[in-house]
Amino acid sequence: MNSFNIVLKKLPLELQETLMVMPANILENLEEVRLRQGSPISIIARNKEYVLDTQNKLSIDSKYLGNVLNSLVDYSYYAYEEELAKGYITVEGGHRVGICGKAVLDNGNVKLIKDISSLNLRRSKELIGISKKCLDKIIDPQSGFLYNTLIVSPPKCGKTTLLRDIVRHLSTNGLRVGLCDERSEIAGMHQGNATFDVGPRTDILDGCPKSIGIPMLIRSMAPDIIATDEIGKQEDIGAIETALCAGTKLLTTIHGNSFEDILNSNIAKVIKQGAFKRIIYLTNVPCTGTIKGVQHV
């Protein structure tokens, strides 16, 4: 279970005990733990759902979920204030906790979420070598440099896991990588140390918006490659163009299923301009992280 044990150990003891009676093969392949007010605990492992019978053992209400969240943020809401307003937090090890409840608005923006009704603990996994199947398609065989590459994937299909392993490979093989890890999920930084292996020549800017972080990395670290996750906002376009003008290679991801999806996204402009020379499409069939195809653009 590796670093996800750190998350599980912050859960109430009776909840830990409930989870630990699961068969070992399910625990080893655990992907999500979903806690919903008034509902059984739901476990996702290898894309299959397991519902735990907790009747008469524990009662999951809003107060209980609030206590779980308090423990996960180490009783420091202030430190996670911005993330909480977005509906999720990233905890030690790069694991994400999704949050639902009553949204409190301030000038049309979500200020906080109260009366918690659902929590989704999502495990972040490291799979060394998962990128081997696509490396020869995204690296120029003559120069050894990366083609500007975009990974297109629906949620929960392994795009961050693949991105991380490509970064590790490039960094291990002599290239300087500037990693803008806005959600702290790629490297899993904790107190300045990366939980996951992203290679020896990777400089990590943690928790910084891509629109700010990408230009910062280019100016401060002169990377060969900029890597980041989940582009798609309008403000990301300027950062992409900055990297292209600097001659820095790009490796990033976006949510979607097809080329048509990204042509309908906020980054359609740079796609049409030929910013990315390789596009990797992922699926979770037959399993998470399956490469559906690599498009030459």
Residues 152 and 256 in one domain: yes
256 in the Ramachandran plot: left (φ > 0), alpha (ψ -120 to 50) or beta? left
d(CA 118, CA 18): 18
Nearest C-alpha neighbor of 112 from the set 74, 59, 66: 66
Which residues in the chain land under pLDDT 70?
1-2, 54-57
Residues 136 and 112 in one domain: no
When divided into structural domains, the chain yields a total of 2
pLDDT in tens, 81-98: 888 888 999 888 889 999
**Residue 280 — φ and ψ, nearest 5°?**
-100, 130
- The range of the structural domain enclosing residue 211 comes to 132-296
CATH number at residue 51: 3.30.450.90
Would you say residue 292 lies in a domain? yes
**Residue 288 — φ and ψ, nearest 5°?**
-60, 135
**The pLDDT value given to residue 256:** 96
What is the pTM for the complete model shown? 0.87
Residues 150 and 229 in one domain: yes
d(CA 262, CA 277): 14
**The pLDDT value given to residue 56:** 58
